[in-house]
Chains A and B, each alone.
Chain A
Amino acid sequence: MAALSFLAWRTLRRNPVRTALVILGLGVTGALLLDMTMLSGGLQASLGQLLSRLGFAIRVVPKGTLPFSGDAQIPDGDGLAAAIASRPGVAAAVPVLATNVYVRRGGAAFASFAVGVPRGGTGVYGMLAGRDLPGGAADDPEGDGGPIPIVVNENMVRLDGVRIGDTVVVAGAPARGVTGPSGAVRARVTGVADFYVDLATQRSMALRTGDLRRVRAMAPGGASLILVRVSDPARAGGIAAWIGAREPRVDALTIGRFIARAGARLTYFNQFAAILSTLSLLVSFLLVTSIVTLSLGERLGEIAMLRALGMTRFRVGALVVLEGVILSALSLPGAFALGLGLSGPLDAILRGAPGVPESLHFFTFGPGAAARTAAMLLVTGAAGGVYPAAVAVRLGIAPTLHAEVQS
C-alpha cells in the first residue's frame, strides 16, 4: 500500500498545476459540504448544548407539545411536580407556568413573555444583576396592596429603559377597559436575568406563579411545563418512563427525545443541507473522476507496462483509486479552512431571521461534523477513482502495447 501511495502521489505531482487546480476545486466543494454538515443537525446540537447547560434532564409537557409552544397546560401540574420531586434520583421538579402579559409604564404598554415559578433560585433563568424572587411561596393571593417582585430580561432594560427598583404594572391586557383575562398588579423590578431562549427583541419576565395566576385570572394547579433536575443523569430515562406511566396526558422528554421532537420541526434545514451536500459531493465526484480519467488516458502504455512487469489487475485498480483518495485528502485542509471561515457569516445571516432565540446557532462545528465531512470527502474521492480504475483493470496488455506502438 505504501508503494502504491508513493506511486499515486508521484503521478499526481507530474502535473502540479492541474493537480493544484483540482485540489482547489475540491476545497471549495468540500467547504460547502462542511457547512451543510454543520447546518444539518447544527441547530439540534446547539439546542442540546443549551439544554445541557440549563441542567434539567427532563421536561414534562402536555402530550404532543414542545415547551412554551402553546397555551396547553398540564392539569394539576403542581401536584405532578410534587410527586416527581419525591421520586428517588430526582433533585428537583419545578412547575413552570408560561404565558404572555403586558407591562404598563407611564402612558406606554408593551407585551412580555412571563414565566411563573414557585420561588426564586429554581435555575429556570440565570440572574445577571439585582435580587432573585423571594424564596417562599406567593402566599398572599388577594394581595396586601404592596407591589409583587419581578425579574426582567436585558431586552426590557435596553429597549424600554426599565431599571432595578422601578415600579410597573403587570396586566393581562394592554390597557384598562380592553377586554381580556385581566387582572392588573403593581410590580417592583428586583433583578435582571438571562432567560436563555429569548428572541432578539423579546421582553421576558419571571414572577411567582401565584402572582402570574392573579394577573391572568387563572385557576390554580395548572403548569405549562415541569422542569426536572436529576441527581444521576443515567437515571433520567427511567424517571421519564415513570412520569409518562403515571400521567398519560403528558410527555416526559429527556434531552435526547426533546431534541428529536424539536428536530422533527426543523427538518427543512436538514433537507436543505442534504440537497446541497449531495450536490457538492456530486461535483467533487465528477471533478475527481474526470481528472483521474484524463490522467489515466495519458499513460495507458505505462499501465500496460506495469501489468506486463507483473502488477496485478487489483493493484493497478487500487493505484488509480488511491489517486482519487489522495486528491480529496489534500483538499481537506482548504475545505476546512474555507468552510469554517464561511460558517460564521452564514450563521449570522440565519440568526438574523426573526423568531430565532439568541443563544441558538445554526452551524455547529464539532468532532462529529468534522469526521463525517472528512469521511464523506475521502469516500467520494475513492468513488471518483472507481470508473478510471475499472478502465485500468480491464485494460488488455497486448492491445494497449500494440496501440501504443502504432501511435
Chain B
Amino acid sequence: MTAEVAPVRAPGAVIEARDVTKDYRMPGGAVRALRGVSLDVEPNRCLAILGPSGCGKSTLLHVLGGVDVPTAGAVTILGRRTSAMSDAALAALRLRHIGFVFQRFFLLPMLTAEENVLLPMIEAGVPAGERRARARALLARVGLAARLRHRPGELSGGEMQRVAIARALANRPRILLADEPTGELDEATGREIGTLLRELSAEGLAVVVVTHNPELAALAGRQVRMKDGVIT
C-alpha cells in the first residue's frame, strides 16, 4: 500500500488537502489519525469516504471542514489555508460556506424544525423575512413542509436528519460535509437521504459523505477508501 494517491488537481476544487497529518496527543502517547492525506473536493460532485472504523474518516472530515486544523500539511478551503486562520475567521468561513450533517443530527431539542433551520441564518445576520422564507423553502425541499412547528422529539430519525440537512443548507454553503448521515437510519430511509445528497451535488454543491454503507457510497460519483489514516 502506497502512502498517497496523487490527487487529480481540479482547477475548481473548493477544498484542497495536501499531505495532511493529524496527531492526537494522549496521555498514553500520540495517536496519528491521518498520515499524509491529499485530496481535492470539487463542486458538483459527491465524494464518498469509506473505510473501517478508526481509520480516520471523521478526522479527515473535520480537517476538511475547518473544525480542526492539521498537525502537518495544509488544508485550503476556498483559497484560504485553515492553519493560518484565526478561530473567528474559521467560524465565519464555516458559517457562510460549509454545511455539516452529523450521524447524531444534533438538532436543538427545544427549538422547532423551522427554528433549527433559522439558527445559522440568524448567526449570519440574514434579514428576518428572508430567513423565514428560506427556512420554509428548505424544509419543503426536504419534504417537511407540514412539520415546521414540530420539535425534534416529535419527528422520526429520517425526518430529523432531513431537518439537519435543511439546517446545513441554510446559509447556501458551497460545501456540504456529512459524517455517517445514515448511521442511525434504516435502509429505506438511508436511501432517501443518499438520493437527496446526490441531488444536491448535482445542483452544484460539493458534497463529501463519510459512510460505512456501501449502498450510500455507490450513489456517490466518486469513492475514496481509507485505511490506517491514509487513502488507499
Contacts and interface: CB of A to CB of B under 8 A. Distances in A.
A10 B118 CA distance: 15
A402 interface: yes
Contacts of B95: 309-311
Given A308-B94, A310-B94, A3 B109 contact: no
B3 interface: no
Nearest to A309: B120
Given A11-B110, A401-B102, A312 B62 contact: no
A315 interface: yes
Interface in A367-407: 396-399, 401-402, 404-405
Contacts of A11: 110
B58 A402 contact: yes
A301 interface: yes
A398 B31 CA distance: 14
Interface stretch (B10-18, B44-52, B84-92, B213-221): B84-92
A309 B103 contact: no
Interface string B115-131: 00001101110000000
B62 A401 contact: yes
Interface string B92-114: 11111011101110101111000
B67 interface: yes
Given A305-B100, A397-B67, A10 B110 contact: yes
Interface in B170-214: 171, 179
A401 B59 CA distance: 10
A396 B122 CA distance: 23
A119 interface: no
Nearest to B100: A308
B68 interface: yes
A398 B57 CA distance: 12
Given A305-B100, A309-B120, A14 B91 contact: no
A405 B65 CA distance: 18
Listed residue (A301, A305, A405) with the most chain B CB atoms within 10 angstroms of its CB:
A305
B108 A302 contact: yes
Interface string A49-80: 00000000000000000000000000000000
A398 B68 contact: yes
A302 B104 CA distance: 10
B134 interface: no
Contact of A309 (B58, B68, B94, B109): B94
A305 B106 contact: yes
B109 A310 contact: no
B167 interface: yes
A305 B102 contact: yes
A315 B119 CA distance: 13
A310 B108 contact: no
A3 B126 CA distance: 12
A309 B100 contact: yes
A322 B88 CA distance: 20
Given A14-B109, A305-B100, A308-B94, A401 B87 contact: no
A13 interface: yes
A163 interface: no
A302 B96 contact: no
Contact of A398 (B62, B109, B120): B62
Listed residue (B102, B167, B171) with the most chain A CB atoms within 10 angstroms of its CB:
B102
Interface in A289-343: 301-302, 304-315
A300 to B, nearest CB: 11
Given A312-B88, A401-B58, A405-B58, A302 B106 contact: yes
Contacts of B123: 3, 309-311, 315
Contact of A301 (B104, B111, B120, B122): B104
Given A308-B67, A308-B94, A397-B67, A313 B108 contact: no
B163 to A, nearest CB: 13
Interface string A28-50: 00000000000000000000000
Interface in B29-73: 58-59, 62, 65, 67-68
Nearest to A315: B123
Contact of B65 (A10, A305, A308, A311): A308
Contacts of B168: 309
Nearest to A10: B110
13 contacts: A7-B108, A10-B110, A302-B106, A308-B65, A310-B123, A311-B95, A312-B87, A314-B88, A397-B62, A398-B58, A398-B62, A401-B179, A405-B104
Given A305-B100, A312-B87, A399-B24, 14 more contacts: A3-B123, A305-B102, A309-B123, A309-B167, A310-B91, A310-B92, A310-B94, A310-B123, A310-B171, A311-B91, A311-B123, A312-B91, A397-B67, A405-B104
The 10 closest A-B pairs by CB, nearest first: A310-B95, A305-B106, A398-B68, A397-B67, A10-B110, A398-B62, A310-B94, A3-B122, A312-B91, A14-B110
